[in-house]
Amino acid sequence: MEIKKSPKADLEKGKGLNFLLGLVVALAIVYVALEYRTYDKIEAYTRDKVDIADMEETILLEENEPEPEQPEPEQPQQQEVQLPEEFKVVDNTQKVEKIALVSVDESKPLPPPAPVAPVKVEEEEDRIHEVVESPAEFPGGSSALYKWLGKNLVYPEQAAEMGIQGKVIVRFVVEKDGSISQATVVKGIDPALDKEALRVIQAMPKWKPGMQQGRAVRMRCTQPVQFKLQ
């Protein structure tokens, strides 16, 4: 009996085709592996061997890069104000007081303002100075003053009989014209001696007045009057 093979079951026909396909796949795998290793070597070599000229060119290019434009500041957004929807109910029954309006006639001149009373201020001329730039002085100075007092002073007889002696302090004002005013005893020792001290001070001739900022002023002075028995 003759055995017949089915054309579909004949494996010898596809044997060559399968061999070629396997060979192509193997070659493709080998090629890909070689390319991958070569790329790794080239990349490693490139990383290790960097040309200095390329680095300088890269640095120059980075320096010449234009600065990024700064964004313009945003304009503040205007917020819309929403009015409340609720309204307050007003009672129209309440009575409102009428306000009287005064009309002004521009054609008529306004009345002048009321005069203001002047404020009384102590004038500089009347002020009595305690210290000035140039003090008041007796004509001829202090030595002439003591000579004049010794010549014109009269010792009270009763005080001399009782042996009363001492110093009387008199305070007075030298006016702007040099005259003596407001003489008073600051420290006394006896009524008779105090009275004589006031008399002789008031009888003095005019002094040279005190000067302040180039003008004569009133000045307060103090003068001791010595009573001494011989």
Whether residue 193 is contained in a domain is answered as: yes
Distance, C-alpha 19 to centroid of its chain:
102
Q: Which helix (H) or strand (E) holds 89?
A: none
- Structural domains counted in the chain: 2
Count of beta carbons in the 10 Å neighbourhood of residue 179: 14
Asked if 221 and 132 sit in the same domain, the reply is: yes
CATH number at residue 144: 3.30.2420.10
Q: Is 215 inside any structural domain? A: yes
For 102-129, what is each residue's pLDDT tens digit?
455 555 666 677 776 655 545 666 899 9
What is the per-residue pLDDT for 201? 96
Look at residue 87 and tell me if it is in a domain.
Answer: no
Same domain membership, residue 219 and residue 132? yes
92 in a structural domain: no
Give per-residue pLDDT as tens, 138-181.
Answer: 999 999 999 999 999 999 999 999 999 999 999 999 999 999 99
Confidence of residue 25 (pLDDT cuts 50, 70, 90): confident
The position carrying tokens 């089915």 is: 6
Tens-place pLDDT, residues 88-99: 666 666 665 655
Residues of the domain holding 38: 17-48
Per the CB < 8 A criterion, the answer to whether 136 and 207 are in contact is: yes
For residue 107, tell me if it sits in a domain: no
* Domain assignment present for 133: yes
Name which residue leads in pLDDT, 168 or 13. Answer: 168
- Domain contains 121: no
Average pLDDT value over all residues in the chain: 76
Global pTM exceeds 0.85: no
Q: Which residues pair with 171 in a beta bridge?
A: 184, 222
Place of tokens 């061997």: 49
* pLDDT higher than threshold 80 for residue 26: yes
